Structure 1
């Protein structure tokens, strides 16, 4: 396998969004030592540290738990666990995106590369500028996806909390014969007195706990 050519760019991968740091920590996994060394050199020229260099997908999974990388560069064909399987594990367990490095451009590999966790695909030998662009796009896509997922989760939590509060309010209305604003005021007072969120107080009430 050809050794990747030296990088011609020293521009670092920039930060993406407000909540994410610039890309600076990457795992490299390739069972060909010379290729791995070339990738590490490219990363260094971009101001990115290769926090672990692995020969198998299984090693990359273990390294992800110890080295705290932000992204993984994975050869598609490795012993133990191939790059696509490794990418799926890294994304599902740690939300670590991957860029696949491969000598194969067949449709079967490209189709498989659309699996969860793969955010880029590069053909060997890897050029420095191509790697920089692939990392930029992959990191941006992953960060945006994570950010969107977190917003969706927060929205779902907010809606769930509101449903609990509404349920508790109308139970108070039914049991005590009071107005909806009065029921809400009771929940608010209980939340202040207990120093809990109103949704926690409402859930406690619905579970049989006292309010006052």
Structure 2
């Protein structure tokens, strides 16, 4: 293997397409494979970055996260599987694997690591772009699910806080739930605040009052 194949290199290739390109990070210690894949993706309208090692890939990602990383599994030093684990922990970059190994166990391990797809060498050139497009679509679905899950979690948390604040008002004002909710809502509207923000403030104030009550009780005990 030549020194060009083992050196840590990163070369940006910009698509000729006038529209914004999706960027793919290609990671392989074989410079011939890197150049071939870069050429194929370039003409398919993608922008690419190349890295000849996992370490070079991490450096590239720290500067600009790609839309997808295509990782060779077997590389000297840090393997593609190890790099994938780093990407999962440290970034939000989706990844797929490139391997010349047909071993079922290795493919299963790659899939379980969170890969959105994989290509097996020797690959048909006509299969590369469709496989990457499918991986990108899968990555987009995962991102959307994560956003939806985050929004749902926030909504549920806000709902719990509002419900607790309504219960607190019911107890303090000796009123029914509907009236307590209307009071909370009207206060939020008149002060141009979100309902859950008012609920948070109310719960925080009650917690402070409880703390002061405890402190007062402690002072009286010491007398």
Q: TM class by shorter-chain length?
A: 0.7 to 0.9
Superposed CA offset, 1:117-153 (max 9, x none): 3111111233322111211211111111111121122
Is it true that 1:121 corresponds to 2:114 in the alignment? no
Is it true that 1:60 corresponds to 2:57 in the alignment? yes
More helix by share: 2
Is it true that 1:197 corresponds to 2:197 in the alignment? no
Which structure has the greater CA radius of gyration?
Answer: 2
CA drift at 1:98:
1.2
> 5+ unaligned residues in a row in structure 2: which ranges?
2-14, 207-223
Is it true that 1:135 corresponds to 2:121 in the alignment? no
- Measured in 2, the distance between the counterparts of 1:147 and 1:84 equals 25
- Measured in 2, the distance between the counterparts of 1:129 and 1:191 equals 59
CA drift at 1:108:
2.4
- Measured in 1, the distance between the counterparts of 2:78 and 2:162 equals 48
- Measured in 2, the distance between the counterparts of 1:125 and 1:187 equals 65
- Measured in 1, the distance between the counterparts of 2:111 and 2:21 equals 22
After TM superposition, the structure 1 = structure 2 runs for residues 1-212 of structure 1, keeping only pairs within 5 Å, are: 24-50=22-48, 52-208=49-205
- Measured in 1, the distance between the counterparts of 2:54 and 2:133 equals 23
CA drift at 1:23:
6.2
Q: Which residue does the alignment assign to 2:216?
A: none
Superposed CA offset, 1:43-73 (max 9, x none): 11211111x2111112212211212310011
Higher RCO (Cα < 8 Å, 6 or more apart): 1
CA drift at 1:166:
0.7
- Measured in 1, the distance between the counterparts of 2:68 and 2:20 equals 11
